[in-house]
Amino acid sequence: IIGFRSDLPFASLGYDEEQEGLSERIIIKFSHVVAENTPKGLAVDRFSQLVKEKSNGRVEVQVFPNGILHSDQTEMDALRRGDIQMIAPAFSNLANRIPAWSVLDLPYVFRDQQDVEQAFHGKIGGMLFETLEPLNMKGLAFWSNGFKQMTSNKPIRTPQDFAGQRFRIIQSPVLEAQFRTLGATAQGAPFNDVYRKLANNEVDGQENTISNIYSKRLYQVQKYMTVSNHGYLGYAVIINKSFWEKLPPDVQRVLTEALEEATAYSDQIAVSMNEQQWKQLTKESSMEIHVLTPQEQAVWREALQPVYKSFAPMIGSALMDEISKLHR
């Protein structure tokens, strides 16, 4: 075993012990829940390919898309146990465990992609990554998807239109509060259940990005979409911390470099994929689509202000201060 301490168990390092003559190969299981033709799906595939090239095949990133290995509700525990080595959960999944992450899910916290990137690559990103370490997780990068839109079986234009509707959310207190503030109710459910829940009328609507609505064909089971850009869907790329610390420095370097390139690629395709799939969606779907006017959006923003008040104490003043700097 070249470059490794012999006292470490193979299994926890993700080695492929069975392959004769390839005993120094390192296997990284990367589990995620979205389709392959999405910003995250493509970024993971690119990362895997780059790692293979840069390590001359020594490190293999095995990709498990579409929640085939773990759902968004089980992947974090599986990562912490070391059953899988990497995940890229939506922020809301982290906010469910670590309240500070709610900051990225505050309604209308980002005005545009530039705000988002400033938060990812500045102090906010660093502060949030620190919160992962005590949970045996190490944050390596932030990936983009895009702004979230509302879909439903009833038309939604004003905050009043939410009254009595049931929405599927990623289980997270801040998203729950968002819908409660609008007079709706919210149910946490894994991403893989969304289509079925909508089809069976277990919920009336959901919020997601264009690429997720398009790639999972949610438009087939929803009558209306409101382009509200009320929240941002992004991902933290996370590795099991003890696994990372046991990797030789040259492998850590390969992973870091591959991730830098995959992240640049992700930033670049996130916006273009959402635009391209928006065009396809408007062509292929029979949903009635309403784009909020700036005036309508201002009314939503105002209606959602109470969410800031309730979550500021648990997010903490340091992060809230950084967020308010974004808007200056």
Binding residues for ligand LMR, rule CB under 6 A, total 10
DSSP line for 244-275: HHHS-HHHHHHHHHHHHHHHHHHHHHHHHHHH
Q: What's the closest the beta carbon of residue 222 comes to ligand LMR, in angstroms? A: 14
Return the number of the residue (120 or 191) whose C-beta is nearest ligand LMR.
191
Query: How many other β-carbons are positioned within 10 Å of the β-carbon of residue 197?
Result: 18
Within positions 22 to 81, which residues make up the interface with ligand LMR, using CB under 6 A? 33-34, 72
- Distance in angstroms (rounded) separating the CA atoms of residues 197 and 206: 10
Return the number of the residue (48 or 145) whose C-beta is nearest ligand LMR.
145
- Distance in angstroms (rounded) separating the CA atoms of residues 98 and 319: 13
Give yes or no for residue 212 binding ligand LMR (CB under 6 A). Answer: yes
- Asked whether 188 and 169 are in contact (CB, 8 A), the reply is yes
Within positions 97 to 126, which residues make up the interface with ligand LMR, using CB under 6 A? none
Contact characters 145-184, ligand LMR, x per CB under 6 A: x------------------------x--------------
Give yes or no for residue 90 binding ligand LMR (CB under 6 A). Answer: yes
The one among 191, 224, 232, 311 contacting ligand LMR by CB under 6 A: 191
- Distance in angstroms (rounded) separating the CA atoms of residues 278 and 91: 23
- Asked whether 211 and 191 are in contact (CB, 8 A), the reply is no
Return the number of the residue (55 or 208) whose C-beta is nearest ligand LMR.
208
- Asked whether 318 and 128 are in contact (CB, 8 A), the reply is no
Query: For residue 243, what are its two tokens?
Result: 């696994």
Give yes or no for residue 233 binding ligand LMR (CB under 6 A). Answer: yes
Q: Which chain residues interact with ligand LMR by CB under 6 A?
A: 33-34, 72, 90, 145, 170, 191, 208, 212, 233
